[in-house]
Amino acid sequence: MTSEHQPSKTFNSSFGNCPICQGTDGILNIGRDHWGYCSNHKTRWYIGSNLMSSWRYETEDDWKANSQILQEFTEVEDIPADPEWEKNVAQIEALWQED
């Protein structure tokens, strides 16, 4: 992650979510290991190893930079994706529009 890259928050990711806001700013690799993270709450969670090929296109320098970023984050248990999430959000939005 470079300084010019601003993470875009995603919610209900199948790769885990922050236990505080239930969102994620993406995935950072350290070698073959994949980590989800939330910049707002400085949380990180382990996703797994060698599940995605993206690590193969990164360098040792990329992994060092990612490691330095994640070093400032607290490791947490992630919140798994909720298959009913989209339906629940649609219901809540419909209620808001009724007001």
Q: Residue 79's pLDDT band (boundaries 50, 70, 90)?
A: confident
Could you report the per-residue pLDDT of 21-35, keeping only the tens digit for each?
888 999 999 999 999
Give the residue with greater pLDDT, 83 vs 59: 59
* Whole-structure pTM value: 0.74
Which helix (H) or strand (E) segment holds residue 92: the answer is helix 85-98
**Residue 22 located in a structural domain:** yes
Domain assignment of residue 35, given as a range: 10-98
Count of domains observed in the chain: 1
Whether residue 86 lies inside any domain: the answer is yes
Beta bridge partners of 38: 43
DSSP for 10-67, please give it. EES-TT-B-TTTSEE--EEEETTEEEEEETTTTEEEEEEESSSGGGGG--HHHHHHHH
